[in-house]
Amino acid sequence: MSAKATLGQMLRYGVVGLTSNALLYLAYLALTSMGVEPKLAMSLLYALGVIQTFYFNKAWSFRHGGTHGPAFIRYCISYGLGYLFNLAALYVLVDHLGHPHQIIQGALIICTAVLLFLLQKLWVFRSDIPSPNATTPSL
């Protein structure tokens, strides 16, 4: 895949991420203003965000024509890895090394977004992953 095609994927991925996060943040503010506990609101909206961004990233950002099921499982695993990466980095850099959480989390948002883009491009929506319905040639 050309650098131009990858840049297009990256830009579309950015649009999906920024739009989704802005809408989910507004929903978070609405839910918490109605008395929903912040961690519950975040958890519900995180799950919703994973589901909605999967469809937009699959169809638009990466234009992946493979089946939904296997790609969605890989997508959920990648977001789990992104979450663990973010959590581990906060634990080390903030809890153990004493860096300010505001700066670290801000940097981690960018690092995690790059990690998730690479996982989606190279694994989740990779174009050469065989479809489960594909037939193998007989010898």
- Buried residues in 63-75 as b, exposed as e (16+ CB within 10 A): ebebeeeebbebb
Given a contact cutoff of 8 angstroms between Cβ atoms, the answer to whether 49 and 75 are in contact is: no
Mean pLDDT over 79-106 rounds to 92
Which of 11-15, 45-49, 105-109, 128-132 has the lowest average pLDDT? 128-132
Positive or negative torsion for Cα 111, 117, 123, 128: negative
Cα separation, 49 vs 43, in Å, equals: 10
Mean pLDDT over 51-70 rounds to 94
CA 78 and chain centroid, separation = 7
Alpha carbon distances (Å) from 58 to 73, 94, 103: 13, 34, 31
Does the global pTM surpass 0.95?
no
pLDDT in tens, 6-49: 999 999 999 999 999 999 999 999 999 999 988 888 889 989 99
